[in-house]
Amino acid sequence: MPAEIKKLLDIWFGNNQAKCETFELFQSKIQEIDKKLNDYSRLKKVWKGGR
């Protein structure tokens, strides 16, 4: 599990202070990570296809 996601989960489930953070913020972070992963896999495909 990427450290970034683990940190988010620790924050989300770990302490009560963090539970005050909105779910939208949590969701947007997940989408951001998801986009990075998609960009990465697209880059990999381009890289493999271009060789």
Q: State pLDDT tens for residues 19-44.
A: 556 677 888 888 998 999 898 888 88
| pLDDT at 1 (0 to 100) | 59
What's the structural domain count of the chain?
1
| pLDDT at 26 (0 to 100) | 81
Taking the alpha carbons of 46, 32, 9, 5 in that order, is the dihedral positive or negative?
positive
pTM score, whole prediction: 0.43
* Identity of residue 36: K
The domain of 16 spans 3-49
Residue linked to tokens 């998801």:
34
